[in-house]
Amino acid sequence: MSVRSALKYMIAVLLTLAFFPRIAGAAEGHWMFKVYLDKKEIGYHEFKVGGSEQERQVQIDAQFDVKILFINAYSYTHQNQETWYDGCLQSIDAQTDDNGDESLVSGFRSDAGFALQTAGGIQTLEAGCLQTFAYWDPSILQSERLLNSQTGELVDVQIQSRGLQELQIGSSSVEAEKFEITMEDGVISLWYGATDGRWLALEAPAKGGRKIRYEPVILPETSQDGSDRLALNEEGTGKGSS
């Protein structure tokens, strides 16, 4: 299995949970993760969420590069701007370059539903509450279908809690609840703080027995004075355990 094939599979999984009543939707915050393919760092994935709990503006930026013998064997970039209201997607404007294959996804909510434009044309999706794979917002753990922001596809998901675990984030050990998102393309594992609901970590399989890991560089604080801020290590990364 080539590195390029493994990365394409991983990205299809990541962009493609259901009972979690203790956690309210994230109002605002900044997440930055280093992304690893097995033990090799390949890039970053950043999420900036602003506004109020009712009305949010989201900026997403991702870049992955895999080099073999100093040659860039695979590259991926993804930029996305979303607006949300009451936990539902109101608009999306996403651009992706998947190793030279470019795609655009844009859309907005109207009285008739959600108008979505992709390379395949314009379609109107269901009029109900639409959500993307917004890992930063634990309310998606109650969803049965999520929008893939790279392809514009609505993906059927099954989400299960795998219980509480001790998660090592830098020099801090925190109690976290593990969830698994199961879909046709694979399984994504997510960890959320058991007391505050912050998204903390992600793992996903890649073809060839490889593993994608997100290790945090920046996580939102849960209090204004930062008294319960997680202590990241000197490099700003944490490491999750499954």
pLDDT value of residue 177: 97
Q: Report CA 171 to chain centroid distance, whole Å.
A: 24
pLDDT value of residue 67: 87
Evaluate if residue 209 carries a pLDDT over 90: no
In a domain, residue 201? The reply is: yes
In a domain, residue 239? The reply is: no
Q: Range of 22's domain?
A: 3-71+128-218
- What totals of helices (H) and strands (E) does the chain contain, helices first? 1, 15
In a domain, residue 119? The reply is: no
The 10s digit of each residue's pLDDT in 140-182 is 999 999 999 999 999 999 999 999 999 988 788 999 999 999 9
Alpha-carbon distance of 167 to 193, in angstroms, equals 9
Task: Indicate the pLDDT class of residue 18, thresholds 50, 70 and 90.
Answer: very low
The CATH number of the domain where 153 resides is what? Answer: 2.40.360
Output the six-digit token pair for 105: 């996804």
pLDDT value of residue 20: 37
Task: Indicate the pLDDT class of residue 53, thresholds 50, 70 and 90.
Answer: confident
Task: Indicate the pLDDT class of residue 223, thresholds 50, 70 and 90.
Answer: very low
DSSP category for residue 138: G
Mean pLDDT of 10-15: 51
Confidence (pTM)? 0.81
In a domain, residue 163? The reply is: yes
The number of folded domains in the chain is 1
In a domain, residue 226? The reply is: no
pLDDT value of residue 227: 41
Evaluate if residue 233 carries a pLDDT over 60: no
In a domain, residue 95? The reply is: no
Alpha-carbon distance of 53 to 55, in angstroms, equals 6
pLDDT value of residue 73: 84
Q: What percent of the chain has pLDDT over 70?
A: 80
Question: Where is 161: in which H helix or E strand?
Answer: strand 158-169
Mean pLDDT of 29-40: 95
